[in-house]
Structure 1
Amino acid sequence: MTDTSRVPIDNGVTWSIQVQGRFLREYSADDVLFGNTFDRPLKLPWGTSAVLRFMNYMDPALTHDLQSTTKPWALSPLISTMPYFAHQRILHGELLPPFPSEESLVEDVSQLYLAVPAAGSTLSPGTSSPARFRDSLPSPRDTNGLGSDSGSIRRSLSPSAGSDRSGTSNASSTKHHSMQDELKSLETVAQRRAYFTSPEKRRQVTFGPSDLITTDFCYGFLSFAGQSGGPHLDLPGGLSFDLGRYWDGQPVRFVCCERKEDGEGGSGEPWGRPFWCVAIEMANEEDEGEEGGDSETSDSDLD
């Protein structure tokens, strides 16, 4: 599922972690988050406010509570935060492509328009299902009442009312095709990330078993070569932080997880159920011969 063997050499990137997989049930792109979670409070350095402003500049959809006194976190929608994102629609019975590829991951969302469900289909949470649409229509009992009222009701369901429903259907179809056309126009990383800063546009995209997603999270401004041996952050303008000086040794955990709804129960974390996790830890002397970091996967909804 993950590949850490190849590292890009452009844009100052010194590390790369790729992940590929599918969701075994449907999820709105707005409900799949990616970022960092921690088990205990962080010792934040001087200048943290500048770091947070930089993070929000790089990723406007980012939300965080890094100053939490319990479990700090910083999460953003996967589709808008990933440096490189590739989507492929897989047909039933089609073999999955080999992973990892011999080449570095190339941004490719040319088939993402296929992940926009057709109008009227059963979609992810928050969208109207056909059943809800049927419930909003008058029942046969309502439309066959006695007396003069029945005639007026029948007239209200004559071609003029049908035309209204047809107009609504046409409007939904037009919106659906408009969304697909917008997605087809996305060609670069910057275009994709800017487009999906909108929650409404993220909710229009649904990932399911037919959607193969490959991501590569690699950042030139973050490295693991600080003098302290821990993470090192380089910001524009010459501002840099040796984060290892403030690092208490807890794993740097990259998590892909489900968005936690307001009022939802669970284990108490501010994030939802994790789909997969890659943890980077400081190696002990006896671990120097081992490669890569630890990874955890919740496989109930992933392939």
Structure 2
Amino acid sequence: MSPSLKVLLGPSADDLKEISYNDDSSHAIQSSLFDGVVSVHIKGDFGDNNEIKDTYFNEESRATSTWSIGIQGRFLKGVNGNDILFGNVFDRPLNLPWGFGAILNLAKYVDPTLEHDLYGEKPWALSPFLSTMPYLQRIEIDPAAPVPACLSVPITEERSRPALAPGSESSPAARRKYFTVESHRKEVNFTPKDLIQADFVHGYLQFPSLTIALPGGVQFDLMYYYDERPVHFVCKKRGTEETFFVVSFTVIKDGERSKQGGQQ
């Protein structure tokens, strides 16, 4: 039986509900800090046939990608751009395999602003939201207006209004590089009138095998070491316990066991 995947969403790691994925649906996330929607796309066969229906990866700019967390929403309290972090937070120590340093080197190459402590009691790996998001734009809206219920087609060209970065730095790659500088991030402030549209999309991780494809054709089998713990993608405020939202993934190695558990 092929592995199965569970995706959960909520305002914190302690308050999560299972959501669907690969069906072009958007799922609401509301808290005292954030109001928005999230959509998840995974390229891989988990035995549910959802991938066949999903059109997300048909977009040319996403053809080589394998997974995506699409985000649309607003921060309900003013927050500085340097204080919004996004990445992984774990609730217990990790048993990292030999050779994991190569994966960290790849991660740092893709995102030079990544900071991490993966050897502590509660490991984490976080980056500034402004520099880590492969696609990101903001649009000014009426603070009293509701957040649009659905994400639009995948962002290909960033058209922030007002601009996040100077005009010459407005392409996704240039914007990410521009915001590797802390002082540049501190120049940006978000308020409830800023509608954020972002896509955390990558292509190094293959599903459902959980194989990481490194440059040079080297592959790393994470499934062998994976203990079915949830992998939380967290958007949080720097230096605090304030969390804007959490998207959590759990791969069940025996998909039949997952189905039987859901029927109990």
Answer yes or no: same fold by TM over 0.5. yes
Matching residue of 1:192? 175
Alignment check: 8 A CA contact 2:143 2:192 kept = no
Matching residue of 1:285? 256
Matched, 1:260 2:231: no
- Give the distance between the partners of 2:200 and 2:170, measured in 1 at CA: 18
- Give the distance between the partners of 1:289 and 1:95, measured in 2 at CA: 39
Matching residue of 1:91? 142
When you count helix as a share of all residues, which structure comes out higher?
A: 1
Matching residue of 1:8? 57
Change (3 A) 1:95 1:250: closer
Within 5 Å, give how 1:228-243 maps onto structure 2: 231-243=210-222
Matching residue of 2:230? 251
> Which of the numbers 189, 196, 214 marks the counterpart of 1:213?
196
CA apart distance, 1:183: 2.0
- Kindly provide the CA deviation profile for residues 61-90 of structure 1, in whole angstroms up to 9, marking residues without a partner as x: 11001122x111100001100111121111
Alignment check: 8 A CA contact 1:43 1:247 kept = no
What runs of 5+ residues in structure 1 fail to find an aligned partner? Answer: 116-181, 262-271, 291-303
Larger Rg: 1
Match of 1:281, SS?
strand
- Give the distance between the partners of 2:221 and 2:258, measured in 1 at CA: 23
Change (3 A) 1:94 1:274: closer
Matching residue of 1:222? 205
Change (3 A) 1:13 1:42: same
Matching residue of 2:15? none
| Number of aligned positions between the proteins | 207
Question: What TM-score do you get using the length of structure 1 for normalisation?
Answer: 0.63
- Give the distance between the partners of 1:58 and 1:14, measured in 2 at CA: 16
Change (3 A) 1:288 1:57: same
Matching residue of 2:77? 25
Alignment check: 8 A CA contact 1:256 1:277 kept = yes
- Give the distance between the partners of 1:78 and 1:200, measured in 2 at CA: 14
Runs of 4+ in 1 over 6 A off after TM superposition: none
Q: Which moved more, 1:21-30 or 1:90-99?
A: 90-99
Q: Which moved more, 1:83-92 or 1:243-252?
A: 83-92
Within 5 Å, give how 1:100-111 maps onto structure 2: 100-101=151-152, 103-111=153-161
CA apart distance, 1:38: 0.7
Within 5 Å, give how 1:97-246 maps onto structure 2: 97-101=148-152, 103-113=153-163, 183-226=166-209, 231-246=210-225
What runs of 5+ residues in structure 2 fail to find an aligned partner? Answer: 1-36, 42-53
Question: What TM-score do you get using the length of structure 2 for normalisation?
Answer: 0.71
- Give the distance between the partners of 1:57 and 1:190, measured in 2 at CA: 13
Change (3 A) 1:216 1:289: farther
- Give the distance between the partners of 1:257 and 1:35, measured in 2 at CA: 9
When you count strand as a share of all residues, which structure comes out higher?
A: 2
- Kindly provide the CA deviation profile for residues 96-143 of structure 1, in whole angstroms up to 9, marking residues without a partner as x: 445122x22334243243x7xxxxxxxxxxxxxxxxxxxxxxxxxxxx
